[in-house]
Structure 1
């Protein structure tokens, strides 16, 4: 079987742990005869970290050259086609996919999370671009509903990060135990008043449980400032842990008892590593994950005004909550590998 060159397109090289985990999962699942070329915001870092070729995602000359020299184009997972955070984002991704289709490449929408799509034109662009893909897989029922409404065939399977390999984190086991991981990210719903309530609740939670709090930024440019605002207020042991390797980021949760997370992939990584989870939802994808896994949590818009109530709820879950069972985790891992099977099938033809 001949070698196939495939362009991997996603929010890669931007310092976002969830999107890096999706890239790592995709590279892990690609058939051996497929040679990846990654579109990245930091090509040198991507090349060094994963041992693959990478080019600047915003370099038109390099992009056109790559399209001429490749046989396949993969939208590599995550919430690429949505207009909630940026109006330009869906046009960038659908534009590249349309170019790949015009160049005659085999086009694959892989492990997509579609939406929110609030604007009619972005819905139209998404529908027509997905319709011309060779194959489509999605990671959640909300995305599946878009494609079903549009009459586009698809495969539904859990997020591929469930099946991503994890790596140990040096020095983690030297930190005081028990440990609880916390991830908060900026969002309009995380108002100063809500953040203040969460910080006070973390203070009370740590006093009651005597845990070591690990503050884990998933995207340093966004999450680190919040972690730095929280840490000086904490009365007990704590550490900010910034990890760029997604395998280590997942492995971190092997060494903690509970995770309190806003980030979608923070919850997936924690749950897959047998960690109790508490969700703070800012987005439909987090809400859907809470429903699918029966995770305790709050919508940020409904966060209690009383820090004492928040901390008591966390303490109760810490004391009496349960992680997913090994059977549940294995089921989700096995189902996530459907995304690998799809790649094997499409590149076998």
Structure 2
């Protein structure tokens, strides 16, 4: 007897076999810019592509083509051309208010995309304007999507995050890009609803788990845990408000308030004898770690960085993080995680760690609800430290119960990951 799922998959495979599959695939995204979640989204999608389409030629348009090219052994090109070394060109570009440089970037985008069959934007929160004005990431995406449209090359969003978009020019550009897309799938219902609010018909488009759920998790650490104190992972973020993003804005109030509250929370954990491991999700978050270390030091606690000394001196620790694999490895050393960055939260849930989210947009709340922890979410700009302490105590008291809830939902999540891959193969790959 053949079940319905098998029949559906067989029909999808037959449909895919009847059409011409794209052989020259271009990936686009803010990869190589220091955000470990973005880079992990690319890695996860490449893992799928190489399993499903080993015959395909893959290229990537990204922030740091040298780093991405070396890491993944693929051809790469920067989203924008680096500044010319020609002094005459630089002068002319300056006098033209950079219009010459912008026209040159349009030309190179069109020239590059003409060689491809399809452009895919895998994961990430591309359709928003966090920390960027209209001439930043929004314009870069608009230029490449418009170039693909001019070349007749399909432009697709795979498991994308969308919204919010505050600037009206950014909203116009990103709405245009989303409307032009040949295919869209979303990583949460919030993103799908946001595009629908812009007047885009998303009624037949699907929501699937974030692409990073495809990545393997580290093996459990070996060794005894008898004498190990309870360890709380605290994921930090250099957050200065939606418009400023990671940059220190003219008003430092948002960042300072967040750090002071997190410093109080970390100190309360240390005072209760817990071990605290500080986590990051982007290179810029090193500043937040440093500031928490300074606050802890004022209360008599020492932040241990790098090589760890004997156990008794390890109450407040941090280690280098250069990828989401480092994040997961370090989370495997924790009992409960409190995190701000979306992919810190995803990593904690992937490892079935009871988690509290301190989010700066709705994507955190969405993934927490999907994994059964929707009641343990706060907003970064309305952070309540007392509630944080209460929620942490609740998770610690019933840790096994919440781990079981997460694991049950993780099993369903992995099935949905497979369904996403089947739809991609039947629809666009």
Residue 76 (structure 1) aligns with: 122
- How far does residue 54 in structure 1 lie from its aligned partner after superposition? 1.8
CA contact (8 A) 2:125 2:161 kept: yes
Match of 1:249 among 312, 323, 327: 327
Counterpart in the other structure of 2:29: 10
Q: Report Cα offsets for 1:283-313 as digits up to 9, x if no partner.
A: 1222333444434132123223xx5664344
**Is 2:42 the counterpart of 1:23?**
yes
**Counterpart contact for 2:138–2:170, Cα < 8 Å:** yes
Q: Over aligned residues, Cα RMSD in angstroms? A: 2.9
Alignment counterpart, residue 198 of structure 1, candidates 255, 262, 266: 262
SS at match of 2:67: helix
Quick one: distance in 2 between partners of 1:314 and 1:248? Answer: 24
| Aligned equivalents of 2:168, 2:182: Cα separation in 1 | 24
Shift in CA distance, 250/339, structure 1 to aligned 2, threshold 3 Å: farther
- Asked if residue 180 in structure 1 is aligned to residue 232 in structure 2, the reply is yes
Contact 1:55 1:62 in 2 (8 A): no
Shift of 1:18: 0.9
Does the 8 Å CA contact 2:110/2:148 hold for their aligned counterparts?
no
1:94: how far off? 2.3
Aligned to 1:150, the other structure's residue is in SS state: coil
TM-score normalised to structure 1 length:
0.87
One of 217, 223, 231 as aligned partner of 1:166: 217
Of 359, 362, 371, 1:284 maps to 362
TM-score norm. by structure 2 comes to: 0.72
Comparing 175-184 and 19-28, the one that deviates more: 175-184
Further displaced range: 22-31 or 167-176: 167-176
Name the one with the larger strand percent. Answer: 1
Question: Following the alignment from structure 1 to structure 2, what is the Cα–Cα distance between the partners of residues 170 and 62?
Answer: 48
SS at match of 1:325: helix
Which residues of 2 match residues 1-349 of structure 1 at below 5 A? 4-30=23-49, 31-59=53-81, 60=105, 63-88=109-134, 89-148=137-196, 149-152=199-202, 153-167=204-218, 178-188=230-240, 190-211=254-275, 213-220=276-283, 222-232=284-294, 233=296, 235=301, 237-292=315-370, 293-295=372-374, 296-304=376-384, 307=385, 310-321=388-399, 322-323=402-403, 324-348=405-429
Verify the 8 A CA contact 2:61 2:77 in the aligned structure 1.
yes
More deviation, 171-180/288-297 = 171-180
- Partner in structure 1 of residue 5 of structure 2: none
Give the C-alpha shift of residue 124 in structure 1. Answer: 3.7
How far apart, in 2, do the equivalents of 1:154 and 1:172 lie?
A: 46
Counterpart Cα distance in 2 of 1:279 and 1:57: 32
Q: 1:87 and 1:202 mapped to 2: Cα distance?
A: 34
2:280 and 2:344 in contact (8 A); partners too: no
The answer to whether the 8 Å contact 1:205/1:312 transfers is no
Which consecutive residues of structure 2, in runs of 5 or more, have no partner in the other structure? 1-19, 82-104, 242-253, 302-313
CA distance in 2, matches of 1:57, 1:177: 46
The alpha carbon displacement at 1:314 in A equals 2.4
Bigger CA radius of gyration = 2
Q: Which moved more, 1:272-281 or 1:311-320?
A: 311-320
